Structure 1
Amino acid sequence: MSLALPITIAIIALVSILLSPKARTESGFFAGLSPNGQSPKLMTMILSQVTTWIFARSLLNAAILGFYYGIWGTIAYAAYYLSFLTGGLIIDSLRFKHGFNSIQDFLRARFSSVGTRCYNFVIGLRLVSEVFANILVIGILFGSAGSSAYTLAVMAFAAVTLLYSMLGGLHASLRTDVFQMVVFIAVLVMLVFMVFSDGLVTAENLLATPFVMSEPGPILLLVALLQIWSYPMHDPVMMDRGFIADRQTTRLSFFHAGWVSVICIMIFGSFGVIAGANASAGEAMNTVLNRLLGDMPMFLFNAALVISAMSTLDSTLSSSAKLVAVDMRVIKPTIQNGRIVMVLFMLLGLAMVFFGNKDLFSAVAVSGTASMYLAPVVFFSLWAGIREIPVWSYVGAFSLAVGGALLYFMESSGHSQWLGEAHKYTKLLWICLTVLGGGIMLFFIGAITCIGSNSILQFQK
């Protein structure tokens, strides 16, 4: 069984390479169009959306939160996938109500170049963290940090995924997403069947942790419900898929991807819940799962992580190329330049793997908190259609959110204790409430100030 996982990875990687046609046009590489210029169909869109958001870090986080905080930890993480619903509304308004072809174009029109610079900074960090997190999961599966097995797994996985991502860009990513998602669903179904047949899925195991509002699980659920209004807008992998199909296909893909993702996360997270309910003092989750499930289910568990990591990593690299070459316009949007950007982002992600923080959820919480400056943009500028928002409101909300993200990182990593001895998720809730409330207040004051000034000018005229 020790060779089963590497062999499985090799087969999936080989098929992914074979499914990745070499890009011939920029529209295929950056916009995901087929060689004859056609947009992807609904099923391709749904499977691609799901597999790029059901990434390895998510699966592992859902299981870990379930292990430590019971079913409420898993529900809290699954709540982040309501972002598909808010993300669908954001895309629909952005494209079909306001007529913009990218978030950067919208922000540039509303807040000048400052709007795009702040946004590109946040999503650039998001993309690098995605590369880092998914590679890190692979390393963890094969050995302890610093071991030869860990290093070899990380480098081999990074090289293979980079190879087929560079071949075809976003179009290749969409094709491999479908294959990888089908394999992932098959693996998950087999895993569920084995766990159910062992009698481990019981109400006693799943509800071993009671609902207590002051506990980390329910608190994290509140955090997720605060962050989902802005979280999708700062995720370029999700947003990029909102601009490549017609309105009806896009709407349906976001809706169906939402409920499918929630189910997948809840299923996978429940394995962590079961492990937590049967763990002895000091036992790690993988140790408990090995004891409870045995070799074959654990192989499937690890295979699901590998497949999801691969499917997300190629999409992240495609979005990175599009961000720099198309959205930021730093370089000419050629296929060659897109491939160079992919290499650079992969190198940045690898640098974080070997020299950065190893807390997987911290990356989610930090980027999610930083993204909350976009919530008032969504509420006021996008959905309410208020154009009279001054740039200082936008910059103020951005500064508040980035400051909150930095504060949470300092508190959760133990570098500071400015918020006292409360649990880190309680601190995160306080920070999120402050960031969201402060951002909304800045936009409200800015809107009132501008509307009042315009009324005075019109009266004087």
Structure 2
Amino acid sequence: MNTPLAVLIMIVAAFSLYLSRQRTQENGFFHGRSAEGDAPGLITLIFSQVTTWIFARSLLNAAILGFYYGIWGTLAYAAYYLSFFTGALIIDHLRFRQGHTSIQAFLHERFGHWGTRCYNLVIGVRLVSEVFANLLVIGILFGVAGSQAYTLAVLAVSLVTLIYSMLGGLHASLRTDLFQMLVFLAVLGLLLIFAVAGGHFSVALLDFKPFEISDPGPILLLVALLQVWSYPMHDPVMMDRGFLADRRTTWRSFIHAGWISTLCILAFGSLGVIAGAGAFSGEDMNQALTRLLGEWPMLLFSATLVISAMSTLDSTLSSSAKLVVMDMKLVPARVNNGRIAMVLFMLLGLALVFWGNKDLFSAVAVSGTASMYLAPVIFFSLWDNQRDIPLWSYLGSFVVALGGAVLYFTESSGYSALLGEAHKYTKLLWISLAVLVIGCLMFQIGSLSARRPRPSDSRMQVQP
């Protein structure tokens, strides 16, 4: 057991519990309001957005991609953070220009019950995958899968996070996000100081993996640029924070969170590039970084992952409660029902940790591909405000995207080889491009057919 890291977890957990004042009113638990009914301020929203999107899986993925594919791998993952800018446009159109109170309300108005059913399925899977992925990172930090240290770390962090999330819901999540983000920035800053002082940053890092358009790094960058249009809309944690404050505060929170989180991801991912450039044959990323930076900087490296995991877990659980109780309305709008939903999502995430796939990026790629069914919805129904798109266009786009996500999962996991022997990221690019083009074609055809006059509407009838 990593004793210093365990002590740090206990300190962060203790402060998080202290900050999580119990909320027994629905407005605070589900909508993040203070006891006086006030919305969160700009700084709170910015830091909450940043820390919930710089989750442990993201940090580790950015570093791993940098380790294997150089700066292009890290840039590819950082490109997903353009989602804050597209997300700002989505929220502004949906909430402030068209007056909807949630994504579900918008989809129900345009596509009926099937509009919300498809969406709720996708974001439900997204939320479970977030619980799974962040707990998985916690386990990896403490030991190999199945070891006692691995199991105890996962169970301890899940229990502590669940307790303080159940106490205060979204209001507690916002308060703890602010605290956890400040700690995260301090720890990341110290880690970068160690790296700079050791002379590990240099221009030569850019040449560690030269740019070749057919290499996995640049290919993944193209994938991110395709998926970034729809990615924010299928992330309930980001979207929920778009319905808390006034228009100006909301817009500014998204914009500032976008550039701050992108810089943080690039900074952390550069550590993976350093490890890849300096690794000996047979060394993995952690071994190379430990040799290059030393034991204490690696403790800081692990600490950033732990803090980001806890901050994302509480936000994920809060969004899970809101999804089940307020958006899907499966149970009466009571705080205790939200707490039960949190427990269920945590248990589902734990089940995947101990019995699921251990590929961290697969969860990003699969959910990102599935989310692409929303791209034509955003282009045609939201930004262009077309109200006559038929249901078959929406369902067709959903089926194609879901099929693409399943195909990528089977191809990347080795269960199928329908797309040949190409690299899995090349396959992901083909699948993403096909899903986007086919979905937009379905909406375009649906839009044209809806505008075509029906025979019964014709004025060209012969008069007696």
Shorter chain as denominator, the TM-score bin is: over 0.9
Q: Secondary structure at the match of 2:330?
A: coil
Give ranges in structure 2 of 5+ residues lacking alignment: none
The equivalent residue for 2:345 is 345
Answer with 140-149 or 205-214: which moved more: 205-214
Conserved 8 A contact 2:410-2:416: yes
Summarize the Cα distance change of 1:274–1:459 in structure 2 as closer, same or farther, 3 Å threshold: farther
Give ranges in structure 1 of 5+ residues lacking alignment: none
Tell me, in whole angstroms, the C-alpha distance in 2 between the residues paired with 1:455 and 1:271.
65
TM-score, length-scaled by structure 2: 0.98
The equivalent residue for 2:56 is 56
1:120 aligned partner, one-letter code: N
Map 1:430-449 → 2, pairs under 5 A: 430-449=430-449
1:74 shift after superposition: 0.1
Summarize the Cα distance change of 1:410–1:434 in structure 2 as closer, same or farther, 3 Å threshold: same
The equivalent residue for 2:281 is 281
1:177 is the counterpart of 2:177: yes
Conserved 8 A contact 1:206-1:277: no
Map 1:194-343 → 2, pairs under 5 A: 194-343=194-343
Deviations 1:381-411 (A, max 9, x none): 0000000100000000000000000000000
1:206 shift after superposition: 3.7
The equivalent residue for 1:450 is 450
Deviations 1:71-110 (A, max 9, x none): 0000000000000000000000000111100000000000
Tell me, in whole angstroms, the C-alpha distance in 2 between the residues paired with 1:110 and 1:448.
16
Tell me, in whole angstroms, the C-alpha distance in 2 between the residues paired with 1:317 and 1:460.
59
Tell me, in whole angstroms, the C-alpha distance in 1 between the residues paired with 2:191 and 2:460.
72
Tell me, in whole angstroms, the C-alpha distance in 2 between the residues paired with 1:141 and 1:401.
34
2:409 aligned partner, one-letter code: F
TM-score, length-scaled by structure 1: 0.99
Q: Secondary structure at the match of 1:434?
A: helix
Conserved 8 A contact 1:111-1:390: yes
Q: Which runs of 4+ in 1 moved over 4 A?
A: 458-461
Tell me, in whole angstroms, the C-alpha distance in 1 between the residues paired with 2:74 and 2:104.
33
Summarize the Cα distance change of 1:83–1:459 in structure 2 as closer, same or farther, 3 Å threshold: farther
The equivalent residue for 2:425 is 425
The equivalent residue for 1:148 is 148
The equivalent residue for 1:23 is 23
Conserved 8 A contact 1:279-1:288: yes
1:104 aligned partner, one-letter code: Q
1:453 shift after superposition: 3.3
Summarize the Cα distance change of 1:332–1:198 in structure 2 as closer, same or farther, 3 Å threshold: same
1:456 shift after superposition: 7.1
Summarize the Cα distance change of 1:135–1:452 in structure 2 as closer, same or farther, 3 Å threshold: same
**Equivalent residues, number:** 461
Deviations 1:418-456 (A, max 9, x none): 000000000000000000000000000000000113697
Summarize the Cα distance change of 1:144–1:326 in structure 2 as closer, same or farther, 3 Å threshold: same
The equivalent residue for 1:101 is 101
1:3 shift after superposition: 1.6
Conserved 8 A contact 1:13-1:161: yes
Conserved 8 A contact 2:2-2:142: no
1:460 shift after superposition: 6.5
1:458 shift after superposition: 6.5
Deviations 1:247-293 (A, max 9, x none): 00000000000000000000000000010011122211011011111
Tell me, in whole angstroms, the C-alpha distance in 2 between the residues paired with 1:349 and 1:455.
53
Tell me, in whole angstroms, the C-alpha distance in 1 between the residues paired with 2:234 and 2:458.
37
Conserved 8 A contact 1:122-1:370: yes
1:459 shift after superposition: 4.4
1:244 aligned partner, one-letter code: L
Identity %: 67
The equivalent residue for 2:189 is 189
